Amino acid sequence: MGAVHAMNAPFFAPSDTGIFCRRRFLQRVGLATVMCATPGAFAEQLLRTPAQTEGPFYPDKLPLDTDNDLIVVNDSLTPSVGEVTYVSGRILDPGGAPVRGALVEIWQCDNSGAYLHSGSSNAEKRDKSFQGFGRFLTGSNGEYLFRTIKPVAYPGRTPHIHYKVKARGKDLLTTQCYIKGHPGNERDGLWKRLGDEKARALVTVDFTPLPNAKAGELAARFDLVLGVTPEA
């Protein structure tokens, strides 16, 4: 499945909910109101998302399937192991306007702590049904959406999802998303290195039950504010 086609196509919802379009999901998790806001209306209130290290496990060989549904690889009928989670948000420029045409990439370990990388310490245990990496191209409202699993801890790190935002061939932001209230955060060197509570709060979000979900799916919202404009 081609990345650009997949990024803009509906994907399958978990359980028996059938085809699950992006618009319907965003309404259910309460993002529709935010996305209809006037661009730049909250510019003075926005704080830029702090950058963090890419880490050693960005895939050294990208999978053939790079769409925004990480829990099913290609046309497989076997879903990955883990708590199904819809991660969504918006990409905004420093003035608060949505960034259209930004390529959002995420990557994370599977439910057993293995990355889609040849150097992952327990690669032999990797869940072959977990895509491990996905891409999404933002629309006019700067929104993105992924279906993945709730991140898990592995030795030395608290649960997290890696993010990279690109546009016009340039890397605009690399950061990580953390689970609010997870006890491992306080012991994680990279999370603590963010310096203060305001910076940590910008990359630490709630993972909460998706309203009316029939199979216990979760939802998390993570907006990213860039420190540079794509033109810059």
| pLDDT tens for each residue of 81-135 | 999 999 999 999 988 999 999 999 999 999 999 999 999 888 888 999 999 999 9
- Give the tens place of pLDDT for each residue, 7-60: 433 333 333 333 344 445 444 444 443 434 444 444 456 899 999 999 999 999
Return the residue matching tokens 């702090």. Answer: 50
Q: Is residue 232 domain-resident?
A: no
The CATH number of the domain where 25 resides is what?
2.60.130.10
pTM metric for this prediction: 0.82
In sequence order, what DSSP letters do the residues of 122-163 get, joined into one string? TGGG--TT---EEEEE--TT-EEEEEEE----BTTB-SEEEE
Q: Give the chain's domain count.
A: 1
Q: What is the largest CA-CA distance in the chain?
A: 49
> Has residue 231 been placed in a domain?
no
Structural domain of 58? 3-225
Whether 230 is covered by a domain: the verdict is no
183 within a domain of the structure (yes/no): yes
**Does residue 70 fall inside a structural domain?**
yes
CA nearest neighbour of 70 among 164, 155, 169, 151: 151
